[in-house]
A and B are shown apart, each in its own frame.
Chain A
Amino acid sequence: DAKTTQPPSMDCAEGRAANLPCNHSTISGNEYVYWYRQIHSQGPQYIIHGLKNNETNEMASLIITEDRKSSTLILPHATLRDTAVYYCIVRVAPGDKIIFGKGTRLHILP
């Protein structure tokens, strides 16, 4: 079973920040949090990952709570092209077993 829980769907107005939550209350100390997104009928695309510090790249920001039991992916200025399913996963090390949950379907509203 997936070790993460996400809301099944969310809406966000175009141009606003999209904040996608993920619960990983059973995360271990050496497990990283990764985020991917999947646009319809394509392979998922890597967005960002982190261990315990907040991270930012050109696509998004990742905020991890101090107890590491939850995180939030932030898309600062959502566009229609951000409409996708977003997956949050936890994993120990590259190459290990990777389980995806059902993700959050993000709808960007014009």
Chain B
Amino acid sequence: DGGITQSPKYLFRKEGQNVTLSCEQNLNHDAMYWYRQDPGQGLRLIYYSQIVNDFQKGDIAEGYSVSREKKESFPLTVTSAQKNPTAFYLCASSHAGQGGTGELFFGEGSRLTVL
């Protein structure tokens, strides 16, 4: 079935460690997004990519990095520079440009806890 898959679902890390969250989609979408959500809060945009080998910073990119080497993959690295990394991370994808409804498809999320 077509969809967007995030892994791992739960992740624990020690302070000072980098961690990479995986996001894979088989929907043939050009655009992909990473959001962060803290308890009781809305979604905040970290990074987004409209095409392979290109990405832009969102509102809270500091302490995060991404790559877009393949159309179907958009991994997010939470670096040790991110001061408060404990959060729920959501990946999404959509068509870019004309065509399609433009709706966002979300993964099930990855919950990161820093010990």
Contact = CB atoms under 8 A, between A and B. Distances in A.
Contacts of A98: 33, 45, 48, 104
Secondary structure class of chain A's binding surface, majority of residues? loop
Interface residues of B, number: 33
A44 B33 CA distance: 13
B72 interface: no
Contacts of B102: 32, 34, 49, 91, 93-95
Chain B at the A interface: mostly helix, strand, loop or mixed?
loop
Contacts of A103: 42
Nearest to B103: A46
Interface stretch (A10-18, A20-28, A35-43, A64-72): A35-43
A102 interface: yes
Contacts of A94: 31, 94-102
Nearest to A102: B42
A81 interface: no
Interface of A: 2, 32, 34, 36, 41-46, 49, 85, 87, 91, 93-103
